[in-house]
Amino acid sequence: MTLSPMPPEPILTRQVVIKPDGRRVMVYTFESADADQPPAPPADDSARHVGASLEPAPG
Amino acid sequence: MSELRWNPLLGEWTITATHRQERTFLPPADYCPLCPTRPGAFETEIPVPTFDIVVFENRFPSLQASPPRPAVEGCDLYPVRPAQGVCEVVVYTDRHTTTLAEESTERIRRLILVWCDRFTELGARDDVAYVYIFENKGEAIGVTLHHPHGQIYAYPFIPPRIARKLAQAEHHWQSTGRDLLGDVLDEEQRDGRRIVCENEAFVAFIPFFARFPYETLIVPRRPATAITDFDAGERWRLAEILKTLLVGYDRLFGFSLPYIMALHQRPTDGRDYPYARFHVEFLPPHRTAHKLKYLAGSESGAGAFINDTIPEETAPRLRACCIAEG
């Protein structure tokens, strides 16, 4: 069972932008509750393919 | 043209949305509409140069806050309603070539905070009866954009499969006084063979009745009807078990596994649902590395699923791939 330490939860902020066609865009930012807490680490940026080659579909 | 058409044979709504035939289909990475708009580059859906997580209203929605009038006349047999609701796209990161499994537990926690915000705002709308948060991942599922993202459909009705699950839970609640998914969790823990991973707040397992070989449920140990019921500690543990399971899925066959991820919560139609229990459902279509489970004659025509595997054999395989992430 996982019992890793829990970093402090960041505070969510939402900024709403209205696009020219009227649609809403919500831009979320996260302020660390702990000034020493690093930002979310980036992921591995190498290109990848989701899924694999598959057998033909039936019928 | 877009409207809700009543299916009297099944007692459920069909959503028509002909404009979706024109939606962007697998564009090259340079023209991804979910990437940020870089200075001097083409204008994407997201009008900022960098971002953490962004949600926007779908350009090709199945449901709209101001829907057009139905293009056809209804009748007693075939009622018709406007396709009222909201369809949003949740962009997990500004990085094009990643997946949720490859993101940090911290970023998954931030996504959970965004899900809470969207559930609260959309669920408060008078025209929304159910807020459905989900992700389609991989071309095997039918994604049209590779940039890591999920979706939210805010329906004006409770979708039929969810209504059926709620009806089962209500019947169990009324006849036993207990919540059904809680009893399922107890049985899975008592048996133990189908548990995939767990932490102090959540348990993931391939259920006894799984329809797909690697179908998984993540269930909270304590009753909670919606994602907004969790405290900060539980949100972190949910992020943790999602990370563990997602990484495990990618290790299973040695490639980034396609799946449907669905969050199940209480409806937001103003009624009480004490028997509803939050859970996350994963439906990966792969039954082996190179073979998919298709919804063919029995599944699509009769609604009777045939699973070519048994969860007592698939769960240990997936469990071996699920090593808790630090």
Residue A41 reports pLDDT greater than 70 = no
- Minimum CA–CA partner of B241 in chain A: A2
Tell me what the mean pLDDT of segment B228-253 comes to. Answer: 98
**In Å, how far is B93's CA from the nearest CA of chain A?**
9
Q: Name chain B contacts of A46, Cβ cutoff 8 Å.
A: 97
What confidence tier does A52 reach under pLDDT thresholds 50, 70, 90?
Answer: low
Residue B325 reports pLDDT greater than 70 = no
Residue B40 reports pLDDT greater than 90 = no
Q: B47-69: buried (b, 16+ CB within 10 Å) or exposed (e) per residue?
A: beeebbbbbbbbbebbbbbebee
**Which of B101-105, B140-144, B293-297 shows the lowest mean pLDDT across its residues?**
B140-144
Residue A47 reports pLDDT greater than 60 = no
Tell me what the mean pLDDT of segment B259-268 comes to. Answer: 98
What confidence tier does A51 reach under pLDDT thresholds 50, 70, 90?
Answer: low
Tell me what the mean pLDDT of segment B44-60 comes to. Answer: 95
CA angle B90, A50, B103 (to 5 degrees): 50
> By C-alpha distance, which of B22, B40, B28, B24 is closest to B96?
B28
What confidence tier does B27 reach under pLDDT thresholds 50, 70, 90?
Answer: confident
Q: What is the pLDDT of residues B147-182, one digit of tens each?
A: 999 999 999 999 999 999 999 999 999 999 999 999
The Cα–Cα gap between B232 and B239 comes to 11
CA angle B8, B11, B17 (to 5 degrees): 80
Tell me what the mean pLDDT of segment B216-229 comes to. Answer: 98
- Minimum CA–CA partner of A10 in chain B: B110
| Per-residue model confidence (pLDDT) at position B145 | 85
Residue A59 reports pLDDT greater than 70 = no
Q: Which residue in B104, B118, B325 has the most chain A C-beta atoms within 10 A of its own C-beta, making it the best mutation to test that interface?
A: B104
Helix, strand, coil abundance in chain A, percent, nearest 5: 0, 30, 70
The structure tokens listed for B27 are 């564009």
Q: Name chain A contacts of B292, Cβ cutoff 8 Å.
A: 54-55, 57
Tell me what the mean pLDDT of segment B287-305 comes to. Answer: 94
CB distance B239 to B304 below 8 Å? no
Sequence-distant (6+) residues with CB within 8 A of B29 are: B35, B96, B97, B146
Residue A57 reports pLDDT greater than 60 = no
| Per-residue model confidence (pLDDT) at position B248 | 98
Residue B87 reports pLDDT greater than 50 = yes
ipTM above 0.90? yes
Strand partners, B263: B133, B280
> By C-alpha distance, which of B127, B111, B89, B83 is closest to B268?
B127
Could A52 and B296 be called an inter-chain contact, meaning their C-beta atoms sit closer than 8 Å?
no
Percent of chain B clearing pLDDT 70 (strictly above): 98
Could A52 and B146 be called an inter-chain contact, meaning their C-beta atoms sit closer than 8 Å?
no
Q: Name residue B241's amino acid.
A: I
| Per-residue model confidence (pLDDT) at position B18 | 82
Could B52 and A42 be called an inter-chain contact, meaning their C-beta atoms sit closer than 8 Å?
no
Residue numbers of B annotated as active site? 149
**Which of B36-50, B104-118, B171-185, B236-250 shows the lowest mean pLDDT across its residues?**
B36-50
> By C-alpha distance, which of A21, A11, A54 is closest to B289?
A54
Could A51 and B235 be called an inter-chain contact, meaning their C-beta atoms sit closer than 8 Å?
no
